[in-house]
């Protein structure tokens, strides 16, 4: 197995980023590659645009699982790559191209050198939205191959190549999208008393939303409300009849998520009364926290610290969201960060992860799963 081939696979996948549940080219590419592997111990199921691959063990007592995500982001690419995205307006800016190449490298190894235990590879669509983990777990395909434990990684721009970071317990936050639409009465800019201005209403609401974390959430807890987009009005001399606010909510506890949503609803009711308008709230996609199984994670951390070719870092929680949390809510496992050493962060149009991390991850995970399968 040439590890360089998985760098090329990453570059191929980088060129075809697709939205959630529209990863048709990506799925075809993955299936075509999987077809080149020894098939004696492989079984394959597709679910929507996702793929499940089972590698039968030589003496199975349980099933281990490795999960990767597949979709891209609606970000116009600004990298210096000669292999930039050919899908205008879309980019693999969160490392899912790296994740898939790593997963194929691990799968390739075990297709030739099967474990004692069964091993399931989960190629999951729609991680960035609307969320593929939860419906995948509810599918008949997944039910037929439900694993006993599940593992995953995510690239980390801030860590050097060769660094592995994780922690027991909560690693990623609970997250929720937030969409609020306000409808009032439009009119001429010269006659504001005859209208209900939704630009003004939206401006008041955005300011009020910023008081929730500072005044309604326990300061020893953590929460973030980010308003990333406001849209309202059509022309400078027309009072806006409609306005739309878009953002996200992130918390480190489910209780704080409930409190924030309750407070948002109360503030929106106040805006309806104060500005004589109507409002709707849509929480869009909601992801539960990524909560690493303490025992499995501690065991992995100790195992990694004995490896001479990688450096382990015990990290803190992050306010990022990941729908891998739905797997961990029902199945023991963990997620860890993989250092890729790039100055640009996740979801940045210029992010260029160091491809040497692909080899690091393939070697590390194949070694870990082999070691894990040998335990009982």
Catalytic residues: 69, 128
**What's the residue count for the chain?**
376
Cα-Cα-Cα-Cα torsion 310, 316, 317, 323, nearest 10 degrees, comes to 0
Q: In terms of Cα–Cα distance, which of 42, 14, 16 is closest to 28? A: 16
- What span, in angstroms and rounded, lies between the C-alpha atoms of 271 and 243? 12
Report the DSSP pairing between strands 242-251 and 223-232: antiparallel
Cis before 130? omega within 30: yes
**Backbone phi, then psi, for 41, in 5-degree steps?**
-110, 10
Report the DSSP pairing between strands 169-172 and 187-188: unpaired
Half-sphere exposure of 171 (CA within 13 A, CB side): 27
Q: Quick one: tokens of 72?
A: 């891209």
* Residue 49: strand pairing partners: none
Burial class (CB in 10 A: 0-12, 13-18, 19+), 32: exposed
Residues 6+ apart with CB under 8 A from 357: 98, 155, 161, 162, 338, 339, 340, 341
For residue 231, CA distances in Å to 73, 74, 186, 227, 243 come to 21, 18, 15, 11, 6
């Amino acid at each position: 197995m040439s590890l360089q081939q998985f760098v090329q696979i990453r570059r191929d996948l980088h060129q075809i980023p697709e939205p959630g549940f529209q990863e048709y080219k990506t799925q075809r590419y993955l299936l075509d590659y999987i077809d080149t592997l020894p098939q004696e111990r492989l079984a394959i199921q597709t679910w929507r645009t996702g793929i499940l691959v089972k590698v039968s063990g030589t003496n199975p007592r349980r099933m281990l699982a490795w999960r990767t995500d597949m979709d891209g982001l609606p970000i116009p690419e600004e990298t210096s790559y000669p292999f930039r995205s050919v899908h205008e307006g879309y980019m693999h800016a969160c490392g899912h191209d790296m994740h898939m190449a790593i997963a194929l490298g691990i799968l390739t190894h075990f297709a030739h050198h099967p474990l004692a235990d069964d091993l399931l590879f989960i190629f999951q669509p729609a991680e960035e939205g609307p969320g593929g983990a939860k419906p995948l777990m509810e599918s008949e395909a997944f039910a037929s191959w439900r694993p006993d434990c599940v593992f995953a990684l995510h690239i980390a721009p801030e860590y050097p190549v060769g660094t592995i970071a994780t922690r027991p317990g909560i690693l990623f936050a609970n997250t929720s999208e937030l969409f609020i639409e306000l409808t009032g009465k439009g009119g001429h800019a010269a006659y504001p008393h005859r209208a209900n201005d939704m630009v003004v209403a939206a401006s008041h609401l955005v300011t009020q939303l910023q008081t929730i974390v500072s005044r309604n959430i326990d300061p020893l807890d953590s929460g973030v409300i980010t308003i990333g987009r406001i849209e309202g009005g059509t022309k400078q001399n027309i009072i806006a009849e409609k306005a739309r606010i878009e953002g996200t909510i992130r918390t480190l506890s489910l209780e704080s998520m409930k409190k924030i949503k309750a407070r948002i609803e109360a503030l929106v009711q106040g805006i309806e009364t104060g500005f004589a308008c109507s409002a709707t709230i849509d929480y869009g996609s909601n992801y539960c926290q990524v909560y690493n199984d303490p025992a499995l994670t501690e065991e992995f951390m100790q195992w990694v610290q004995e490896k001479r070719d990688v450096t382990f870092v015990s990290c803190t929680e992050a306010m990022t969201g990941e729908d891998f949390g739905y797997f961990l809510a029902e199945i023991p496992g963990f997620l860890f960060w993989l250092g890729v050493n790039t100055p640009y962060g996740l979801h940045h149009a210029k992010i260029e992860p160091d491809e040497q991390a692909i080899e690091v991850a393939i070697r590390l995970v194949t070694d870990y799963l082999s070691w894990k399968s040998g335990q009982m």
